[in-house]
Amino acid sequence: MSKRIDVNDLNIFYGKFHAVQNVSMTIEPKSVTAFIGPSGCGKSTFLRTLNRMHEVIPGGRVEGEVLMDGRDLYSKEVDPVDVRREVGMVFQRPNPFPTMSIKENVLAGVRLNSRRMSHSAADELAERALRDANLWNEVKDRLDKPGSGLSGGQQQRLCIARAIAVQPEVILMDEPCSALDPISTLAIEDLIEQLKEDYTVVIVTHNMQQAARVSDRTGFFNLEATGRPGRLVEMDDTQKIFNNPAQQSTEDYISGRFG
Amino acid sequence: MSTTPPSARTPAAVPAPAPDRSPRRGQVRRPGDLVFSGASLASGLLIMAILAGVATFLLVQSLPVLTADPGEVTGEAGFAAYVLPLIVGTVLASVLAMAMATPVAVGIALFVSHYAPRRLGASIGFVIDLLAAVPSVVFGMWGWQVLAPRLVPAFAWLEANLGWVPLFAEGSNTGRTIATASLVLAVMILPIITAVSREVFLQTPRLHEEAALALGATKWEMIRTAVLPFGKPGVIGGTMLGLGRALGETMAVAIILSTGGFTWNIIGPGNSTIPAEIALNFPEAAGLRLSELIAAGLVLFVITLVVNLVARYIVEKRSEFSGAN
Ligand SMILES: Nc1ncnc2c1ncn2[C@@H]1O[C@H](COP(=O)(O)OP(=O)(O)O)[C@@H](O)[C@H]1O
Ligand SMILES: [Mg+2]
């Protein structure tokens, strides 16, 4: 349940605006890859091309290839809906469906995929996803209460449970902790560590300590000036990026000497 | 590894400070504030006064019929027996109109908010809003002259095929039936239901729409998981507002319907509504008959008030939902 991603010469646009330029990279299965870089350099934009969520925005389009185990996600025959079922996503702000109970939230994606499911199968699946998201013990007595009644950190783990309930190949996370307190952040970081045993995890983070803690590989994005497209400056083992980066701008960014 | 640069602080991490609304913050009370709060208080009181005045007028004027000998009231069985069929007719016509208008309005609102390209959506919305500007007399004449004759074959078909349903017992030859009137009412309340629905559908948080899409929902599945549950209270509220309008609508029904006693048969002549009853009889009414009609008006006032209050309540409750995140 995890796939390798190869990105070749990807260019990303919002209408006429060229947001990200010529990105090529390889993301290994069962690893955690982190993207860091200053605000507005296109990390979120790039992340959203990996499950074709970018094109949901009016005017959003890409040029280039994203191969998942060799299959191009952007070829004509591929339905974006299928891509999103294989590549789950967790957003910056926790977004459980407010009108659904905790359990229904977890099952929301599964219900889209398979119409009919016995009660017991549904309960089992919800429990497993919640356990895998380290949330089960906190919510097991109130599965029928609304998901929006949970704390921010719990909501975010609920969203992770919802994403893994459909057993995707890859999980994308866009600054999943930026709206959370430190304790909840630690809980999510622990969770990411566990998730990589089964999934390919790609995470965008503003927090470099977090990138250093959770990721195996790190990609540094930058942009020369506002209005110019963002680029992938370098990508390497996390150790290497933080201790001995090849590029001066990476060094400047991680040491806080950034313009 | 070193300190996080300033850019690492995302705006989302810092909750926006709640705007300070307390008027006592500064000691000075500005004259502008005083004038404004005085004016709004005065207009609020004025509205209450008008409402109370109307209610008192209705009550006082309808007292004679409420205390009159049942034999003297039209129908010779008391006011309740007189007004009950009218109430049922009014509610029947309005509920039918609501049932026909709501699905269409929700469909249009969804199309405008989520399917149509922005330009097209805006122009469709504009055209629907224009419908609200058509005077009800015009709708009435259109229903009578154009729609009614064209519905006669449809009524005949209903009678032939679904005649065992009491609603479709006997088709009319003129088409001037409660079904026709309801259809016209449906067109008249379409704009308000559409406008409210479109507004709430547009307010669906992008976050929830994207959550659904990222789970692999198709567009329609996204609408079912994110848009419709979010918009439901608003749609119900809009529908109730439409119902309120249909209940009080006079001209369309008065012109179209060939009135009569109550019958379940909606595709034949018969039935009447309180507004139509008043409009058709008021000019010649005097004495007790006048009081009767005013009392019927009072009943309508109460029904409409309750429907509107419920509608408001439901629309208000919606705000709790949207604050969920
Ligand atoms: N919906 C959008 N429409 C147009 N431009 C956008 C949109 N979202 C982001 N951008 C632009 O794309 C660039 C990259 O943004 P983003 O990917 O959000 O950066 P990051 O996540 O690295 O902070 C920025 O210049 C931003 O203004
Ligand atoms: Mg971002």
Q: Cα separation of B56 and B62, whole Å? A: 10
What integer pLDDT is reported at residue A234 of this predicted model? 95
- Indicate the angle between helix axes A152-165 and A102-113, nearest 10 degrees: 20
The ligand placed nearest to the CA atom of residue A37 is 1
Whether residue B42 has pLDDT greater than 90: yes
Q: Whose CA is nearest to atom 1 of ligand 1?
A: A57
A63: its two tokens: 């040029």
Decide yes or no: CATH 3.30.70.3460 for domain A5-254. Answer: no
Q: Is A14 in the pocket of ligand 1 (CB under 6 A)?
A: yes
Q: Whose CA is nearest to atom 2 of ligand 1?
A: A14
Domain ranges of chain A: 5-254
What integer pLDDT is reported at residue B113 of this predicted model? 93
What integer pLDDT is reported at residue B16 of this predicted model? 44
What integer pLDDT is reported at residue A190 of this predicted model? 92
Q: Whose CA is nearest to atom 21 of ligand 1?
A: A44
Whether residue B212 has pLDDT greater than 80: yes
Best probe of the A interface among B7, B215, B220, B223, by most A CBs < 10 A, is: B215
What integer pLDDT is reported at residue B322 of this predicted model? 47
Q: Cα separation of A42 and A23, whole Å? A: 11
What integer pLDDT is reported at residue B103 of this predicted model? 96
Q: Is A43 in the pocket of ligand 1 (CB under 6 A)?
A: yes
CB environment A91-124: b (16+ within 10 A), e (fewer): bbbbbbbbbbbbbbbbbbbbbbeeeeeeeeebee
The DSSP output letter for B26 is S
B82: its two tokens: 């007189």
Q: Is A44 in the pocket of ligand 1 (CB under 6 A)?
A: yes
Please state the CATH superfamily assignment of the domain spanning residues B83-287 in this structure.
Answer: MetI-like (1.10.3720.10)
Contact B216 A109 (CB under 8 A): yes
Decide if A134 contacts A180 (C-beta within 8 A).
no
Whether residue B319 has pLDDT greater than 60: no
Atom of ligand 1 nearest to the CA of A227: 25
Which positions in chain A touch B4 (Cβ < 8 Å)?
Answer: 206-209, 256
Decide if B224 contacts B83 (C-beta within 8 A).
no
Decide if B277 contacts B253 (C-beta within 8 A).
no
Whether residue A141 has pLDDT greater than 90: yes
Atom of ligand 1 nearest to the CA of A174: 21
Question: Could you read off the pLDDT of A97-128 as tens digits, one per residue?
Answer: 988 999 999 999 998 877 678 889 999 999 99
Decide if B263 contacts B168 (C-beta within 8 A).
no
What integer pLDDT is reported at residue B10 of this predicted model? 40
B16 vs A204, more confident: A204
Which positions in chain B touch A146 (Cβ < 8 Å)?
Answer: 324
Question: Please, which residues 1-30 of chain A have a Cβ atom closer than 8 Å to chain B?
Answer: none
Which ranges in chain A belong to alpha helices (H)?
A: 43-49, 80-86, 102-113, 119-132, 136-139, 152-165, 182-195, 208-214, 238-243, 248-254
B312 vs B179, more confident: B179
The DSSP output letter for A146 is B
Whether residue B3 has pLDDT greater than 50: no
B218 vs B23, more confident: B218
pLDDT band at A199 (very low <50, low <70, confident <90, very high): very high
ipTM: 0.92
B24 vs A15, more confident: A15
Nearest Cβ partner of B229 from A99, A159, A162?
A99
Q: Cα separation of B316 and B308, whole Å? A: 12
- Indicate the angle between helix axes B274-281 and B79-110, nearest 10 degrees: 120
Closest CA of chain A from B308, distance in Å: 25
Which positions in chain A touch B232 (Cβ < 8 Å)?
Answer: 99
Best probe of the B interface among A48, A95, A111, A148, by most B CBs < 10 A, is: A95
Q: What is the average pLDDT score of chain B? A: 85
CA proximity to A187, closest of A176, A171, A196: A176
What integer pLDDT is reported at residue B24 of this predicted model? 52
Percentage of chain A with pLDDT > 70? 98
A173 vs B319, more confident: A173
Whether residue B171 has pLDDT greater than 90: no
Residue B47 burial (10 A CB sphere; 0-12, 13-18, 19+) = exposed
CB atoms within 10 A of CB A185: 18
Whether residue A230 has pLDDT greater than 60: yes
pLDDT band at B25 (very low <50, low <70, confident <90, very high): low
Rounded to the nearest angstrom, the distance between the alpha carbon of A174 and the centre of ligand 2 is 7
Residue B56 burial (10 A CB sphere; 0-12, 13-18, 19+) = exposed
Taken in order B202, B206, B210, B211, the sign of the CA dihedral is negative
Decide if A233 contacts A221 (C-beta within 8 A).
yes
Q: Whose CA is nearest to atom 8 of ligand 1?
A: A45
> pTM of the predicted model, to two decimals?
0.81
Decide if A97 contacts B225 (C-beta within 8 A).
yes
Which ranges in chain B belong to alpha helices (H)?
A: 31-67, 79-110, 118-131, 136-142, 148-162, 178-202, 206-214, 219-222, 228-248, 251-256, 274-281, 287-322
Nearest Cβ partner of B324 from A98, A159, A206?
A98
Mean pLDDT value of segment B179-204: 93
Determine the length of chain B.
325
What integer pLDDT is reported at residue B69 of this predicted model? 83
Decide if B210 contacts A162 (C-beta within 8 A).
no
Question: Could you read off the pLDDT of B58-97 as tens digits, one per residue?
Answer: 999 998 888 888 888 888 788 888 899 999 999 999 999 9
Q: Cα separation of A109 and A163, whole Å? A: 7
